[in-house]
Amino acid sequence: MNGIEGQAGRKTGCSTGHVFSPFIVTKKWIAPAALWIAALALGIYAKAPEIPGSHGPMAPRVPQLPPDPRELLFMLGVGSVVWYAVAMALPFLLLAARGVDTEKQKPARIARLSFAIFIALFALTAVIEFLVAYRGVASKPSFLSFLPVALRQDLLAWIALAAFVVAFELRRRSMRARLERERLRAQIAEHRLVALTSQLHPHFLFNTLQGISTLIHRDPDAADEMLSKLSDLLRDLLRHRDTALVSLDEELKYIRTYLDISKFRFADRLSFTVEADQSVGKMKVPLFILQPLVENALNHGIGARAEGGKICVRAHERGGRLQLEVEDNGGGLDAPPEDGVGLTNTRDRLHTMYGTDHSLELEAIATGGVIARIDVPTR
């Protein structure tokens, strides 16, 4: 879900850019501008054939192809009055179409206005053609008798131009609407990620405070130090209270602090290691995504064992995917586990962030213990 990453990345320092940047808007006009310049250049390059009795731009078509390609272009209409009229009108019609608000104006009114502009352009072109074709000619026909000729020569060109403007504008609006839908979808998903992450904080805080409460009478110094570590962790988490994603380095820092806090509760019964490839440190992951897995390992893995145990947190990149693992050497899985608050929340956040392109599995180890493994695309 690249759109989600883009929105979340904007708040966490990822350089994603805004979907409606001036560069993108400018880039859209390169193709029509190039077409417009090419049309004017072809019109200048075209040359009317030298036929006795002809009248410049209104020269009649000849049955055989002329040897000069410039004359052939003119026979095809390039360089005529309507050619220049269409080329000059194109950028203005594109700008006018862009300014039409289809939500505030009725379709019938837009259609009437477009038809009036179309007729006005055709009539103006016909008048200019008549004046250019018969300038200095004594026995010129009336404009009304010339109108059917102009209709036959110019109508198709203006229809083609109108079709091009409509097609170009519809495509532009469709692309903009699609980008806006993606932006809104990403924004909604990010807000959902933040909401789901915030649900973890009371759950995690309650369990930690319960551990502090147990230590207060048994080991006040340990309880005081545990409370100090908790304050440091909460201070760091509050910096990201409106953030959906953090770097893996930051996530692992939080997990180390959380495991340090847990050591006060388990004393010498708990040891842990945190391992990560150097290449994955800057990758983005949902905030606090590993905490429920570590908490699961503490409570259901080694918590019930009198001798305690060890927790290993690992992060690796394999085949273009990021794998996060939390392994304990506890009693293993006696039965298929039921998701509690933490695991359910984690699955929901992974689905919101990555759609179906992720996995979260709990795997029993033959020698005892469980591996919780998250597999997601690299970000």
> Mean pLDDT across the chain, nearest whole number?
78
Q: Is residue 281 included in any domain, yes or no?
A: yes
User: Looking at the structure, do residues 357 and 286 belong to the same domain, yes or no?
Assistant: yes
Q: Is residue 297 included in any domain, yes or no?
A: yes
What confidence tens digit (pLDDT) does each residue in 70-89 have? Answer: 776 776 777 788 888 888 89
Q: Residue 338 belongs to a domain with what CATH number?
A: 3.30.565.10
User: Looking at the structure, do residues 231 and 357 belong to the same domain, yes or no?
Assistant: yes
Model pTM greater than 0.95? no
If pLDDT is split at 50, 70 and 90, which confidence band does 248 have?
very high
User: Looking at the structure, do residues 24 and 121 belong to the same domain, yes or no?
Assistant: yes
Total domains, the chain? 2
Lowest mean pLDDT among 31-45, 218-232, 290-304, 356-370: 31-45
If pLDDT is split at 50, 70 and 90, which confidence band does 337 have?
low
Q: Is residue 213 included in any domain, yes or no?
A: no
Domain boundary among 136, 161, 182: 182
90 has pLDDT over 50: yes
Inter-residue contact 362 to 372 (CB < 8 Å):
yes
Q: Is residue 241 included in any domain, yes or no?
A: yes
Lowest mean pLDDT among 110-114, 142-146, 205-209: 205-209
Inter-residue contact 248 to 286 (CB < 8 Å):
no
**What is the pLDDT averaged over residues 234-258?**
83
- Which residue segment(s) compose the domain that 268 sits in? 219-377
The C-alpha angle with vertex 222 and arms to 220 and 227, in degrees rounded to 5, equals 95
What confidence tens digit (pLDDT) does each residue in 292-330 have? Answer: 898 888 887 787 677 778 999 999 998 889 999 999 988
The Cα 281–Cα 315 span in angstroms is: 9
User: Looking at the structure, do residues 140 and 264 belong to the same domain, yes or no?
Assistant: no
What confidence tens digit (pLDDT) does each residue in 199-214 have? Answer: 655 667 777 787 788 7
User: Looking at the structure, do residues 111 and 251 belong to the same domain, yes or no?
Assistant: no
Q: Which tokens go with 115?
A: 């038809």
Q: For residue 329, with 0-12 CB atoms within 10 Å meaning exposed, 13-18 middle and 19 or more buried, which class applies?
A: buried
Q: Is residue 200 included in any domain, yes or no?
A: no
User: Looking at the structure, do residues 107 and 20 belong to the same domain, yes or no?
Assistant: yes
The Cα 73–Cα 132 span in angstroms is: 19
User: Looking at the structure, do residues 232 and 369 belong to the same domain, yes or no?
Assistant: yes
User: Looking at the structure, do residues 274 and 343 belong to the same domain, yes or no?
Assistant: yes
Q: Is residue 197 included in any domain, yes or no?
A: no
